[in-house]
Amino acid sequence: MPAFFLEITIALVLASFLGALASFFKQPLVFGYILAGLIIGPVFSTFSRQEIFASFAQVGIALLLFLVGLELKFRELAGFSKKIPLITFIQVLLTFLSVFAVAKYLNLSQTNAVLLALVTVFSSTALVVKLLSDKRDLDSLYGQVTVGILILQDLIAIAVLIVLSQLGNFTPTFIISSIILKGLTLIILVILLKEFLLASIFDKLAKNLEILFLGALAYAFMMAALANFLDFSPSAGAFLAGLSLANTREEYQIASRIRPLRDFFLVIFFVFLGTQISLSNLKVIFNQALVISLAIILVKLISVTLSMLYLGFRKRTALFTGLSLAQISEFSLVLILVLASFQLVEKETVSLVTLVSLITFAVSSYLVIFDRKIINYLSPLLSLFERRNPNEKIQKEEGELKDHVVLIGCGRLGSTLISLFKKKKVPLLVVDFNPYIVERVSNQGINTLFGDITDPDIVEAASLSKAKLIVSTVFDKEDNLEILEILKKRGDRIAKIVTAPTEKEALELYERGANYVIIPRILGGERIVELLLRSWKKDVNLERLKKSHFKELKERIGNN
């Protein structure tokens, strides 16, 4: 046992170092974890207790799927575009057929080619959500479409996992009937628990957060054990356990406490996955991985982009969605290990999928980071496929604009400025990429544009040449720099106020032509200090200020 502590110490130290290195190069942490496994496994052969690490990896997968189920909101799915299932179907089908064809061309066996194609049709929810969150694009239209597709893919992946977990135990004649019978038993039990027991039990457990945490873990592992007893994957049981606790009062507390535990075991899972890479015939496998990765990236990018253009989305939304989905999923890695445990695929195929994950994670990360440069390059080509009258409207027509203020972004600061401009009766045009915000602001009788101000169509629709002032409340430096560059090229003599999170970025924006840079943190601090000093000197009546502020907050909530 002492040797195990040494091995796990080496694994965690190396994973921490390589994870930090991956983060520095704007790569997902998974990249570093898998490389750590490759180094301590096949390269230096320091992993002697594989069965323990394999068990830890299984726990990581179970906790991952427990939280996927816990955080799944079917009511959010209902709010997504009805076109998302069709886009998902087209992408999954074309990816499957393309990867199968490429795998056969590379002389993989029929079984390995089919299963390889099956596990690579999915895209990475964890990676994409992290990238879009960093760019503050989750609330954009393309962000919402992307997340909708990912959720549907995750549900398909769970279904595939349930089916695959039966393949090792039954002959084909009895597979379907066995899955239906045992699956229904498990699902009915979960429904009964959710309807009659779970809410009251977890309400009582919630009186002590430690007990709530232990109770949630116990329930997840109990359902995982039951699923395993019924010859399903334990992860499928954990997913159903999480799904049955979704929308309970305790879901956020449970998720926040289990998430760090899940992250630890997932690190072990990805390190363990790295140890499964076979160094024998590595050159051939790596070359195969490059070809398959190229096929996956191109097919996912093209299929999503063109299908969205055909369905009436604008080229910017379509391309950004396609770029976001151009990789395989963490579920791909889970599924290939399940298949390997049933000896349905060769070890070389596990190595192949792992290398494909590394390549597609790396490439797609940079595709998302540089999406605005890519759209500028591909815009003329995409215009050939874009509908003349896209269903994705960019403007709410409210008459001709002149001597107006263009407000970009309608978050907290933007909402405050809208209230100010309305009181002063200043002509205003709000530009935002969140369709819900655009609809809400438009319902207040304010001119709105839906889209990105760096989109040439939006620039023209905003009548910048007739505007007096442009105010950007977005924090993204690249967006603000691009806005300043667009105005400079157009030669529009318009006052430019932009926003920055730090003093360093503010100086750069000043150097690039901004007339004034808002730093909310500094302005907020100055306002607080001013208020405290005035209160201390009795220059302000706090009670009157409180009533005024209370009224303003109520109005804001009403508008939202």
Instruction: With CA atoms as reference, report the closest residue to 346 among 276, 429, 398, 403.
Output: 276
Check whether 44 has a pLDDT greater than 60.
no
pLDDT at 81: 62
- What phi and psi, each to the nearest 5 degrees, are found at residue 515? -80, -30
Beta-bridged to residue 448, according to DSSP, are: 396, 430
Whether the model clears a pTM of 0.95, i.e. scores above it, the answer is no
Q: Domain residues of the chain, as ranges?
A: 2-46+57-383, 395-518
Check whether 550 has a pLDDT greater than 70.
no
From residue 405, alpha-carbon distances to 105, 421, 449, 454, 464 in Å are 58, 9, 13, 17, 9
Token digits of residue 51: 């069965």
Q: Which of 77-91, 108-122, 327-341, 342-356 is predicted with the least confidence, judged by mean pLDDT?
A: 77-91
Check whether 92 has a pLDDT greater than 90.
yes
Check whether 302 has a pLDDT greater than 90.
yes
pLDDT at 118: 94
Check whether 314 has a pLDDT greater than 60.
yes
* Mean pLDDT confidence for 47-63: 79
**Mean pLDDT score of the chain, rounded to an integer?**
82
> Would you identify the CATH topology of the domain 2-46+57-383?
Na+/H+ antiporter like fold (1.20.1530)
CATH of the structural domain 395-518, one choice from 3.40.50.620, 3.30.70.20, 3.30.465.10, 3.40.50.720: 3.40.50.720
* Mean pLDDT confidence for 469-487: 85
Reported as a single tens digit per residue, the pLDDT across 101-145 is 999 999 999 989 999 999 999 998 878 887 887 777 877 788 888
Instruction: With CA atoms as reference, report the closest residue to 403 among 381, 389, 421.
Output: 421
Check whether 45 has a pLDDT greater than 70.
no
pLDDT at 98: 96
Check whether 225 has a pLDDT greater than 70.
yes
pLDDT at 385: 85
Check whether 195 has a pLDDT greater than 80.
yes
User: Which has more confidence, 442 or 178?
Assistant: 442
